[in-house]
Amino acid sequence: MKQAIIFDMDGTLFQTNYILEPALAATFDYLREQGLWKGATPIDQYRKIMGVPLTVVWQTLCPEHDKSQHQESNRYFQQALIEQIENGTGSLYEQVEETLNQLAAHYPLYIASNGQMPYLQAIVKQYKLMKWIERVYSIDTVPSGNKSELVANVIRENSITSGFVVGDRASDIKAAQDNGLTAIGVHFDFAQPEELQQADFVVKSFAAIVQKIRA
């Protein structure tokens, strides 16, 4: 039997809120310069949907734009996020490094995220996560954009028989349930209490994950 732990990235390992506002502001400044946006940057609206596939992000924030413009906006936004990461603006959550080090001694660890791969790779490189993480999986590899399907790929490719999905949104919890794994919800920045109710366990600090896994 192979028991493993699969982590979400944004709002679970990485404090995306530190880089989200400046990157989104830069993107909407660009849209204003192009005459494609008027009014305030919809940061609060994005916070509410943080963690959904990027196609849904742009459909929600800019419903009047066509698919081509959504792709261009996302390209600009992704580059702005990566620049923020490389400039050291972001941060892992408190005790992530210590907890991953502790868990990696007993379990293989993976990341499965709705983020695009260059963005995920920037975080992994900046914070040297490959010391603990065996492989990173991006939603880029799943045409459906379905987190449950992404986690199923992690399970299949690594012969996982049991384990945990750790994340902050409903898609993480559903991905665990759909694949017969235990769902651990983290009640951090972007988490919604009504979504976390569906998790098997809920923690308010990253270090508390250790006790839930051993329970």
Give DSSP secondary structure letters for 104-169: HTTS-EEEEESS-HHHHHHHHHHTTGGGTEEEEEEGGG-TT--HHHHHHHHHHHTT--EEEEEESS
The pLDDT of residue 5:
98
- 3 state DSSP class of 91: coil
> Any idea what the CATH number is for the domain that residue 123 is in?
3.40.50.1000
Which of 86, 110, 132 is the C-terminal boundary of a domain? 86
Range of the domain at 40: 17-86
Co-location of 57 and 97 in the same domain? no
Which of 70, 86, 102 is the C-terminal boundary of a domain? 86
pTM of the predicted model as reported, rounded to 2 decimal places: 0.93
Co-location of 170 and 64 in the same domain? no
> pLDDT tens string for the chain (215 positions)?
799 999 999 999 999 989 999 999 999 999 999 999 999 999 999 888 877 778 889 999 999 999 999 999 999 999 999 999 999 999 999 999 999 999 999 999 999 999 999 999 999 999 999 999 999 999 999 998 899 999 999 999 999 999 999 999 999 999 999 999 999 999 998 888 999 999 999 999 999 999 999 86
Co-location of 167 and 114 in the same domain? yes
